Amino acid sequence: MSKRDYYEILGVSKDASKDEIKKAYRKLAKKYHPDVSQEDNAEDKFKEAQEAWDVLGDDQKRQQYDQFGHAGPNQGGFGGFGGAEDFGGFGDIFDMFFGGGGRRRDPNAPRRGADLQYTMTLNFEEAIFGKETDVQIPKEEECETCDGSGAKPGTKPETCSHCQGAGQLNQEQNTPFGRVVNRRVCHYCEGTGQIIKDKCNTCGGAGRVTKRKNIHISIPAGIDEGQRIRVSGQGEPGENGGPTGDLYVVVQIRPHEFYKREGDHIFCEMPLTFTQAALGDEIEVPTVHGNVKLKIPSGTQNGKTFRLKEKGAPNVRGYGHGDQHVKIRVVTPTNMTDRQKELLREFHDISGNQPTEEQHDNIFQRVKRAFKGE
């Protein structure tokens, strides 16, 4: 299946400026982000927009895409040899013909920081009503001693004399295709393009230190098990001035001894005595929103479920409330007094040992039909 045109994906013209492309990408990323979009194919559209931005947002990649399209040397095309890396630098042949640069990464270019994940456990009511809280997480931050350079105060990193700051070393070799140039990460500077001779005593040359940081988290009402909260800009710091990553808070919810939850609906069981079920009653049912009265009609059977409208959990996206479903459990009396037993025997003698006609139709007829295979 052929790929869609990247300009078409972002909805911009081929002469669009970089700012216009960036604006179009951000709009699509916000619309189709899997954490917020309800569309079935949101994740695919998000990845498609991300792929388009990765190419059109980079001047060199965009130039090669405009010239070669999806089949360009840096778009994974010109296949048939198992990929450039698998063929001992076969991809570098195209660098010789087309000016290169597409596969090389500027070691000093801005790079986005990594995302972090934190698991938070809430009790049942906290997930229903939400809460404001602070969490303390370990995260890397820029070293204040060296301002992130990794060099001792008063000194600065020097350009690597082996790769001349490129972060890569070129190695020529003869192949059946002719002489090609293989590019490898410079092992002298580890691909950074810089050498730190006098390292910072605080961070040891890393330019970062790990600290525990308090971060405020807003838990929305109605959040459910396994859902994530994105806290923008609270991940690892970027490199070379790149943007900071995000923090994702994954929610776990402790089970409740009385309530069970499925989506926005809450379920519970209420015990009734034999007489309450037979004669009817009005009972009080606990809900997360407070106790409510529930009228039990006479002749209520064990397992009967009643619905309390909008007494469930609020929808996390703000679309109203779910319901609470109350299942009746008729409790058989135990440890009865002699008088209670006497009254039950009297009731038994009056009503006989057979179920009512209605019960007969509802239960025994279904059993007979099941035996007959109807």
Annotated binding-site ranges for Zn(2+): 143, 146, 160, 163, 186, 189, 200, 203
* Tokens, residue 293: 């009265």
Q: Is 271 helix (H, G, I), strand (E, B) or coil?
A: strand
Rounded Cα distance, 185 and 104, in Å: 10
Please state, in angstroms and as integers, the Cα–Cα distance from residue 325 to each residue in 222, 224, 291, 349, following that order: 17, 18, 14, 37
Inter-residue contact 217 to 130 (CB < 8 Å): no
The percent helix, strand, coil of the chain (3-state, each to 5) is: 25, 25, 45
Question: Hunting for tokens 């990649």 — which residue is that?
Answer: 61
Residues in the chain, overall count: 374
Rounded Cα distance, 95 and 250, in Å: 44
Q: Is 64 helix (H, G, I), strand (E, B) or coil?
A: helix
* Tokens, residue 348: 């038994």
Rg, the chain, Cα only: 34
- Binding-site residues, in ranges, read 143, 146, 160, 163, 186, 189, 200, 203
HSE-CB for 206 with a 13 A CA cutoff: 11
Residues with Cβ within 8 Å of 336's Cβ and at least 6 positions away in sequence, in order, are: 344
Torsion of CA 318, 321, 322, 326, to 10 degrees: 160
Query: DSSP character for 72?
Result: S
Q: Nearest-CA neighbor of 92 among 160, 157, 7, 181? A: 181
Residues with Cβ within 8 Å of 332's Cβ and at least 6 positions away in sequence, in order, are: 274
DSSP string over 316-339? TTS--B--EEEEEEEEPP-S--HH
